[in-house]
Copies of this chain bind each other. A is one copy, B any other.
Amino acid sequence: MLVAQIPLNHTLESTLDLTAVFAFATSGALLAVHKRFDVVGLVVLAEATAIGGGVIRDLVIGAAPPAAFTHPEYVLVPLGAAGAVFFAHARVERLLALVLLFDAAGLALYAVSGTAKASASGLGPVPAVALGVVTAVGGGVLRDVLAQETPVVLRSDSVLYAIPAFLAAVLVASAREAGVYGTAAATAAVALAFVLRVLALLRGWRAPRPRV
């Protein structure tokens, strides 16, 4: 869902992008297995998780049809992930660390590409940051709402997820405002969100909650 908004090497970008789509879709399909849904549930949660955030972003900036509906690979890759989980979910679970790693990469890429695309469409820095975060976490929220689970991103017992995306989005929007957005800034923002998310997973970092 990057659509050339991150000025990296193009082949690398496409590979990372579809890997992220696959990781997001896998998290959707695995939740469907845990909820004991049928094959339709697996496919719907895989698709919603993988393309939900990008579709919302594109509808908000008026880019209809969304990128996910003009590039069939964005519909087909989640279908592949759902198939893999359907036939081999036990094996996929054993690779959960890998799925979480790719999911972290997806989170970082989507936050950066979402903010950059929103900004390029003419939005100011504040709404662009908001939409960057929505791009990164929207699919996961949709996955949880469809499965009737409290969205992981809202819960105080889950480790940092939206905040790394938010910081990367702020970095991108600031770099654009300063007129220095380019390969270096995009790479730094992706790395920032990715490293923070992985550290949060390793060390159990949580966001503050109000004292009750």
Interface set of A (CB-CB < 8 Å, partner B): 32-33, 35-42, 44-45, 47, 55, 59-62, 64-66, 68-70, 72, 75-76, 85-87, 89, 121-124, 126-127, 130-131, 141, 145-151, 153-156, 161-163, 206-210, 212
Contact = CB atoms under 8 A, between A and B. Distances in A.
A70 B127 contact: yes
A126 B71 CA distance: 9
B65 A208 contact: no
Copies of this protein chain in the complex: 3
Contacts of A85: 210
B70 A60 contact: no
Nearest to A73: B126
Contacts of A62: 64-65
A99 B39 CA distance: 26
Given A55-B60, A65-B62, A209 B39 contact: yes
